[in-house]
Structures are given as C-alpha cells and as structure tokens.
Structure 1
Amino acid sequence: MSFAISDWVQGRTKDGELIQGFITSLNERQNIASVYVVQSDHDAAVGTTVSVLSGWLKPQPAARVLDYAEPILDFIELALATRDAEWFAELTERLHEVMEKRERGNASEPVLHNRNRLGQIN
C-alpha cells in the first residue's frame, strides 16, 4: 500500500506500540514512513516522530481524528509553532464545536492524558 505525506495512519512501531498520526516524510526505497504521533498507548511517543515500516501502517480518515479535543489541541500547537493563522482559526473553531458536543453530552470522547507543550503528563 502506498502512502503520501500528510496521510493519516495508524499502526505499530517496531517496539509494538500502537500509534495514530500523520506521515511527515517517506523513504520509498526502504519502505519506511516517518509518522508524527498524536495518540499512542505509549505516552512518551505522543508528540514525537517515529519511523515505521509502511507495511505496518493502515490508513485512517482525518475526519475521525478531528472529532476529539486532544488531537485538535496538538494541531493548534503545531499551527502556533508554524505561525499559520488561518489553520489556527480553523482548528479553534473545530475545537469549540467538539467542546459544545461534549457539554451537550453528544460526544463519546475517550479519556486521554493531558500533556503540556513538552509532551509531559500533567
């Protein structure tokens, strides 16, 4: 299966960690993708980029990721770091929609760990 940069994927690392994120670079010769991790069962991996064999990944629709507050917060940090005001505005609007759903009780968001900008659990 071939992937492109910015594709949303989920899979396992060589250490068996479950990851979800998006592809930041590809090495087609070695069949390796670099994935920016937005969710993982290994908390230290969140917010980092890991190299994974493409065969260990499967596609994941981006819309599903943007249904949860935590990944949106990660993207807001990225938008701030890249000074992308338009993307920041889009993400902030989406975050407000997700939070409104949560307050009305229409969201079934999983319990996730809070992290600060350094990726440490508070």
Structure 2
Amino acid sequence: MKVEVSDWVQATTKNGEFIHGFVDAVDEQQGIANIFVVNSDNEESVGKPVAVRERLLRKLPAYVFEDTDAIQSLIDIALSTKDEQWFNELSEKWKDLQQSRSKEESRPAVYPSSTNRINYPVWNSGRNRI
C-alpha cells in the first residue's frame, strides 16, 4: 500500500503490538514507513516513532474536522511533535469552526410549536406564531 507523510494508519508491528498513528517519514526503497504512535496496546510505544513495513499498514480514511475537541487534541499532537505547519493549519480550522458555530448560535431557533388540524407542524421562529 502506498502511504504518504501525514496519512493516518493502523498496523500490527513485527512484535505483535497494535499501533495507531500518522506517517512521519517513508523510505520507498526499503518499503518502510516511520509511524508516530498516538495509541497502542503497548503504552510504552505511545508518543514514539515506530518503523513498520508498508505492506502491514492499513490507511485510515481522511478525517473531517467538525469537532473542536478533536482538533484541540490534534493541536496538542502538533505541538508535541513540533510541527509548526500542521499546528498553523489546525489552528485555522479551529478558528473557522468556532466562527461558524457562533454564527449558528446567533440564528433564532426554529422548531415546531404545534400542529394544525391535519397534524402538520406549524413552525415558530421564536417570535411569530404562524
């Protein structure tokens, strides 16, 4: 499997430990990827790089940034790995999410307030009854 730097992957190492992390470097000639481990069944591996053969990797789907808590966790990882570019990208996404969330909160709530005689919802924007 072809992986690139920054891809999120899962693998089982030659020692049998399950790891979850992102690709930090790739040696295409040797077919080995360096994985920065963020989760593992061996706690001693977490936070450390591990070399794994590319054929043993399972690439994970791209992450959709919709959760500010998840982005903050990734920002912590970017800081711990001293990856300034990734930190800046994540910070921008976090700011964008915060701005879109504040816009959604400023809209008036729209919810059904009652139903008419044929049981069809009558909408109320919080100000006017229809």
How far does the alpha carbon of each residue in 1:83-109 deviate from its partner, in whole angstroms, 9 at most, with x for none? 534523535887xx9xxxxxxxxxxxx
- More relative contact order, 1 or 2 (CA 8 Å, 6+ apart): 1
Taking the aligned partners of 1:10 and 1:82, their CA distance within structure 2 comes to 21
| Residue 76 of structure 2 corresponds to residue 77 of structure 1 | yes
State, as a whole percentage, how many aligned pairs show the same letter.
Answer: 36
Give the SS at the match of 1:44. helix
Counterpart in the other structure of 1:87? 90
- The answer for unaligned runs of 5 or more in structure 1 is 98-122
Choose 1 or 2 for highest CA Rg.
2
Structure 1 CA distance for aligned equivalents of residues 61 and 42 of structure 2:
22
- Checking the alignment, whether the CA contact within 8 Å between 2:10 and 2:21 is kept in structure 1 is yes
TM-score normalized with structure 1 length: 0.60
Q: TM-score, normalised by structure 2?
A: 0.57
Displaced runs of 4+ in structure 1, greater than 6 A? none
Which structure has the highest strand share of the two?
A: 2
RMSD: 3.0
